[in-house]
Chain A
Amino acid sequence: MDSRFRGNDGMDSRFRGNDGNMITRRQFIKAGIVGGAALTAAGLFYSRGLKEAPGSAVPPGLTSAGRTIIAAIVPAVLAGPLPASGEARSRAIAQTVDGVAVAVAGLSAAAQKELAELFVLLDIAPARALLGLWPGWEAAPAAEVAAFLQGWRESRLELLRSAYAALHDLVLGAWYGNPDNWPAIGYPGPAEILR
């Protein structure tokens, strides 16, 4: 993975700035501004949809589009602990997506609606094109997804920064809530209490 996409370290080098990084940064800012407008529009669209169909509740957890998006984000957020390839990798990604779905289903109805809006935006083709995630999430390389996340993380728009924070918390929470992933960080897990 390109070093500038490595979370904290990458960001510092971007703030120091060199030509390549500055271009990347401008692209992110541009994507950020348009992305912000699109996110708001997606929200309005979604709210209107709800009003047109009263009583149609937002389904719990993740839609299939939401699952695809989270599955693409997992390798970027979890670069490092995720198994490098093969069956172990696919299984770990699927487990994490399941964990995110459970977490989303436990959020308030209002928070679930906001996340649904976010996934609607991330799923539509123009937004994917703007973010450089073309043609689709399934094919997006982890480095591109990491660049998108980094752009939102650093965005001048509060809305995009908070969307980044939501994705950050959901994916990391699902991963580190899973006992399979505790040995790698030296966490022994809770003691057994006999009943």
Chain B
Amino acid sequence: MTRDPFVEGLKSGWQVVDASALTADRTLEADVAIVGSGAGGGIAAEILTKAGLKVVIVEEGPLKTSADFRMREADAYPQLYQESAARKTKDKAINVLQGRSVGGSTTVNWTSCFRTPATTLAHWQREFGLKDLTVEAMAPWFDAVDRRLSIRYWDLSPNENNNLLRQAAWKLGVSVAPIRRNVKGCWNLGYCGMGCPTDAKQSMLVTTLPAALAAGATLVHHLRAERLVMAGDRIEALDSVAMEAAGIRPLPWRVRIRAKHFVLAAGAIGTPALLLRSGAPDPARLLGRRTFLHPTTVSAALMDHEVRGYAGAPQTIYSDHYLENVAVDGPIGYKLEVPPMHPVLFSTTLQGFGEAHTQLMREFATSHAMLALLRDGFHPQSPGGTVQLRDDGTPLLDYPITDFVWEGVRRSWLAMAELQFAAGAKRVYVVHEQCAGYASWAEAKAGIEKLPLKNQLARIVSAHVMGGCGMAADGKQGVTDPWGRYRGLGNLSVCDGSLFPTSIGANPQLSVYGLAARNASRLAEELTKQPAPALA
């Protein structure tokens, strides 16, 4: 039997408001209003609440907890993801997976934890003047998060999907390593992407948010933050609108939240969009720009034995070989991982239709899949995307794939195909509409060189949105300062992945947690004139 600590907490009197049930406008007062309940908002909520501040957390998505998580894609994607897991960039070339329920992307991520790579921090120091963001200075924050979220190496065997990446890498002399995960008592089911049904995943839903709520914070879900109300260089209030239960359209009821300080943690699309809607100061025209995605390519392979990529911890092995064999500011590098394989995600990602597609799906249980996450934002020809607003005020990310990125796309297909053949693949299908499968590495090499690099022909995906409110020492380079304070507004902090001046070059959740812990602790000290409480 499993219990649902969130449901138990609700019974014990936590202050949780479902805005979809409102029947009138409301006003709330707080010391700090936090927009977003994901990695950044969750960490900030625990630290600021424990510092004795009255905190209100606003979440646009629904409250769904382990009792709701049925491990079915048809339920999980509409409930737990932005735009039913079908969020697209403006030209529809990239499908973006992003969470949107209480806990944000931490509720649905695949539990991979990497500290911000030293090469990334060094680049930020050199190019953005972020002198204090060294490996050594960040280490205590990452140590605290490791303890708080039980981040550790996975001590069971990797599933066969991950094992094949390791076997292939060993065969080719490519470096490979295990992934640390934020889990406690994991059942090794493999359904992290649909919400953890056993609360083993140490997401914000079972860690920082319960801690903040138990300490007196208020959570309002089904509430869309629309606009910050500014008076001079200060924010007076957050204007927000209740969402209908299904979460697509707004209701007539508005909620105004007055606070002394505002923390934006709505993710790297949501945070810049809120600031754009609010007309936040942006003298250097940087807001919403330099938004990064780790554009991700996919290669499927048919093996001669069962892989069952749907079973077991989804990501336990990775390779940074192809990040490390290029200069950080040279041709684009990429990290290799594998995805969990479930029928909807796999079938919609695979090219083609009709009999050819059916043939591939019949081999579902013997298929392997690999991902290459391209490290964008470190080169002048990889400037990322721009968050824009639609007529209805909702955000749209314009991310043109540059030739510089496309060159890396082709290289990543070649590397993945070579690895999959080294692991014994009978046939390899890089995910491109004109790839009908290759029977050998030689055939793949020749075939991949000819694939046209065009939107939609190549399927590119992303699960990591970063940047748009980049930190920099100089206001000409970033809208936020090295502590995440928004320039030109006295009582506003950004506390999520939108702070990153480039992509991370690794799954970003731990980078968000570490930076949020550091910045929220500093903010707590400024607001209370007391030492900040320890996270763990």
**At the interface with chain A, which of B213-221, B350-358, B417-425, B511-519?**
B350-358
A78 CB contacts on chain B under 8 angstroms: 354, 358
Is A154 among interface residues, defined by CB-CB distance under 8 A?
Answer: yes
Q: Tell me the bound Cα distance from A99 to B328 in angstroms.
A: 45
Asked whether, in the complex, the Cβ of B434 is within 8 Å of the Cβ of A190, the reply is no
B138 CB contacts on chain A under 8 angstroms: none
**At the interface with chain A, which of B48-56, B70-78, B157-165, B405-413?**
B70-78
Asked whether, in the complex, the Cβ of B455 is within 8 Å of the Cβ of A161, the reply is yes
**At the interface with chain B, which of A3-11, A32-40, A63-71, A127-135?**
A3-11
**At the interface with chain A, which of B178-186, B282-290, B361-369, B495-503?**
B361-369
Asked whether, in the complex, the Cβ of A8 is within 8 Å of the Cβ of B352, the reply is yes
Asked whether, in the complex, the Cβ of B86 is within 8 Å of the Cβ of A7, the reply is no
Asked whether, in the complex, the Cβ of B249 is within 8 Å of the Cβ of A8, the reply is no
Asked whether, in the complex, the Cβ of A77 is within 8 Å of the Cβ of B353, the reply is yes
Looking across the interface, which residue of chain B has its beta carbon closest to that of A156? B454
A191 CB contacts on chain B under 8 angstroms: 71, 189
Distance between B207 CB and nearest chain A CB, rounded to angstroms: 20
Is A178 among interface residues, defined by CB-CB distance under 8 A?
Answer: yes
CB-contact partner of B191 in A9, A10, A190, under 8 A? A190
Provide the B298-322 mask, 1 if CB < 8 A to any CB of A, else 0: 0000000000001000000000000
**At the interface with chain A, which of B272-280, B340-348, B470-478?**
B340-348
Asked whether, in the complex, the Cβ of A7 is within 8 Å of the Cβ of B310, the reply is no
Q: Tell me the bound Cα distance from A110 to B435 in angstroms.
A: 32
Is A30 among interface residues, defined by CB-CB distance under 8 A?
Answer: no
| A187-B364 contact, Cβ under 8 Å, with A109-B394, A110-B392, A176-B344 | yes
| A8-B348 contact, Cβ under 8 Å, with A178-B74, A187-B343, A190-B70 | no
CB-contact partner of B83 in A60, A107, A173, A176, under 8 A? A107
B437 CB contacts on chain A under 8 angstroms: 8
B58-77 with Cβ < 8 A to chain A: 67, 70-74, 77
CB-contact partner of A190 in B1, B72, B78, B392, under 8 A? B72
A195 CB contacts on chain B under 8 angstroms: 1-2, 67
Distance between A43 CB and nearest chain B CB, rounded to angstroms: 13
Is B525 among interface residues, defined by CB-CB distance under 8 A?
Answer: no
CB-contact partner of A81 in B67, B91, B356, B358, under 8 A? B358
Distance between B113 CB and nearest chain A CB, rounded to angstroms: 24
| A162-B355 contact, Cβ under 8 Å, with A111-B86, A187-B310 | no
Asked whether, in the complex, the Cβ of A7 is within 8 Å of the Cβ of B356, the reply is yes
Count class of interface residues, chain A = 35 or more
A164-180 with Cβ < 8 A to chain B: 164-166, 168-169, 171-173, 175-179
Distance between B419 CB and nearest chain A CB, rounded to angstroms: 22
Count class of interface residues, chain B = 35 or more
Is B198 among interface residues, defined by CB-CB distance under 8 A?
Answer: yes
CB-contact partner of B246 in A105, A177, A179, under 8 A? A105
Asked whether, in the complex, the Cβ of B354 is within 8 Å of the Cβ of A5, the reply is yes
B353 CB contacts on chain A under 8 angstroms: 7, 76-77, 79, 146, 149, 153, 168, 171-172
Looking across the interface, which residue of chain A has its beta carbon closest to that of B84? A106
Asked whether, in the complex, the Cβ of A158 is within 8 Å of the Cβ of B86, the reply is no
Asked whether, in the complex, the Cβ of A9 is within 8 Å of the Cβ of B436, the reply is yes
| A176-B351 contact, Cβ under 8 Å, with A162-B456, A169-B86 | no
CB-contact partner of B356 in A8, A105, A164, under 8 A? A8
Asked whether, in the complex, the Cβ of A106 is within 8 Å of the Cβ of B78, the reply is yes
Q: Tell me the bound Cα distance from A175 to B73 in angstroms.
A: 11
Is B535 among interface residues, defined by CB-CB distance under 8 A?
Answer: no
Asked whether, in the complex, the Cβ of B354 is within 8 Å of the Cβ of A103, the reply is no
B351 CB contacts on chain A under 8 angstroms: 7-8
B433 CB contacts on chain A under 8 angstroms: 11, 153-154
A164 CB contacts on chain B under 8 angstroms: 456
B246 CB contacts on chain A under 8 angstroms: 60, 105-106
Is B251 among interface residues, defined by CB-CB distance under 8 A?
Answer: no
Is B529 among interface residues, defined by CB-CB distance under 8 A?
Answer: no
B355 CB contacts on chain A under 8 angstroms: 1, 6-7, 9, 79-80
B185-235 with Cβ < 8 A to chain A: 189, 191, 197-198
Asked whether, in the complex, the Cβ of B436 is within 8 Å of the Cβ of A190, the reply is no
Asked whether, in the complex, the Cβ of B354 is within 8 Å of the Cβ of A77, the reply is yes
A106 CB contacts on chain B under 8 angstroms: 77-78, 84, 246, 248
B2 CB contacts on chain A under 8 angstroms: 193-195
Most buried by B among A109, A178, A194: A109
Is B123 among interface residues, defined by CB-CB distance under 8 A?
Answer: no
| A12-B344 contact, Cβ under 8 Å, with A7-B357, A76-B353, A178-B74 | no
Looking across the interface, which residue of chain B has its beta carbon closest to that of A168? B353
| A190-B344 contact, Cβ under 8 Å, with A110-B394, A111-B83 | no
| A158-B456 contact, Cβ under 8 Å, with A1-B355, A195-B67 | yes
| A172-B347 contact, Cβ under 8 Å, with A158-B455, A178-B74 | yes
Asked whether, in the complex, the Cβ of B83 is within 8 Å of the Cβ of A190, the reply is no
B84 CB contacts on chain A under 8 angstroms: 103, 106-107
Is B390 among interface residues, defined by CB-CB distance under 8 A?
Answer: yes
Q: Tell me the bound Cα distance from A10 to B357 in angstroms.
A: 12
Asked whether, in the complex, the Cβ of B354 is within 8 Å of the Cβ of A6, the reply is yes
B30 CB contacts on chain A under 8 angstroms: none
Distance between A89 CB and nearest chain B CB, rounded to angstroms: 15
Is B148 among interface residues, defined by CB-CB distance under 8 A?
Answer: no
Is B92 among interface residues, defined by CB-CB distance under 8 A?
Answer: yes
Asked whether, in the complex, the Cβ of B436 is within 8 Å of the Cβ of A11, the reply is yes
Is A53 among interface residues, defined by CB-CB distance under 8 A?
Answer: no
Q: Tell me the bound Cα distance from A194 to B365 in angstroms.
A: 26
Told that A76-B354, A78-B354, A103-B78 touch, could you supply 11 new A-B pairs with CB distance under 8 A?
Answer: A7-B355, A7-B357, A8-B435, A102-B74, A105-B248, A111-B86, A172-B347, A177-B74, A179-B72, A185-B365, A187-B343
23 A-B pairs with CB atoms under 8 Å apart are A6-B354, A7-B354, A8-B351, A11-B433, A57-B249, A76-B353, A77-B354, A79-B358, A103-B86, A107-B83, A161-B456, A161-B457, A162-B92, A165-B456, A168-B348, A171-B353, A176-B346, A176-B361, A186-B365, A190-B189, A190-B191, A193-B2, A193-B198
